[in-house]
Amino acid sequence: MLNPTDRAGRAELDALSTAVLGSGIVRGLLDAIPCPIAVLNRQRQILVANRAFRRLAAQPDGEELLGLRIGEALSCTRAMGNPGGCGTSKGCRSCGSLQAVAAAASGHPRAAESTLKRDADAGADWTDVGITCVPIAIEGHDLILLTAQDLFDRKRRQALERIFFHDILNKIGGIQGLGSLLETGAADRETSELAGMVRSMAAELVEDIDAQRSVGAAENSTLRTNPEELDSFQVVDATLRMYLNHVAAAGRTLIASPAAGHVRFRSDRKLLVRVLGNMVKNGLEASRPGDSVILGCDPVPDGVRFWVHNPGVMSADAQLRVFQRSYSTKGAGRGLGTYSMKLITEQYLRGKIGFESTSATGTTFHATLPVAPAA
Residue 83: which CATH number? 3.30.450.20
First vs last C-alpha separation in the chain = 37
Q: Are residues 200 and 275 in the same domain?
A: no
- The H or E element spanning position 173 is helix 152-185
pLDDT the model gives residue 58: 85
Residues 25 and 99 in one domain: yes
Mean pLDDT estimate for the chain:
83
Q: Tell me: do 19 and 35 sit in the same domain.
A: yes
Q: Domain residues for 28?
A: 10-150
Here the CATH number for the domain that contains residue 306 is: 3.30.565.10
User: What pLDDT, on the 0 to 100 scale, is given for residue 330?
Assistant: 58
Residue 56 lies in a domain: yes
Q: Are residues 24 and 135 in the same domain?
A: yes
Q: In terms of domains, do 17 and 39 share one?
A: yes
Identify whether 371 is part of a domain: yes
Residues 232 and 343 in one domain: yes
Provide CB contacts within 8 A for 305, sequence distance 6+.
297, 298, 299, 366, 367, 368, 369
Query: Which of 223, 242, 276 is the last residue before a domain boundary?
Result: 223
Domain for residue 292, yes or no? yes
Residues 186 and 284 in one domain: no
pLDDT of res. 336:
59
259 lies in the same domain as 196:
no
Q: How many structural domains are present in the chain?
A: 3
Please give the single-letter amino acid code of residue 57. Answer: A
235 shares its domain with 356: yes
The answer to whether residue 47 sits within a structural domain is yes
Nearest CA to 342 out of 354, 356, 333 is that of 354
Question: Of the ranges 5-14, 101-110, 194-203, 329-338, which one carries the lowest mean pLDDT score?
Answer: 329-338
Reference 295, options 339, 246, 359, 225; nearest CA is 246
**pLDDT band (50, 70, 90) for residue 133:** very high
Domain boundary among 150, 173, 195: 150
In a domain, 2, yes or no: no
CA dihedral 297, 264, 233, 210 (to 10 degrees): -90
pTM here is: 0.59
Q: Which of 99, 133, 150 is the C-terminal boundary of a domain?
A: 150
Give a yes or no: residue 4 inside a domain: no
CB distance 50 to 73 below 8 Å: no
3 within a domain of the structure (yes/no): no
pLDDT digits (tens, 9 = 90+) for 44-57: 899 989 999 998 88
Which tops the pLDDT comparison, 218 or 252? 252
Task: Give domain status of residue 172, yes or no.
Answer: yes
Residues 254-273 have pLDDT tens digits of: 999 999 989 999 999 989 99
181 with 42, same domain: the answer is no
Are 217 and 234 part of one and the same domain?
no
The pLDDT tens digits of the residues spanning 164-180 come to 776 777 777 777 777 77
Mean pLDDT of 62-88: 83
Q: Are residues 132 and 170 in the same domain?
A: no
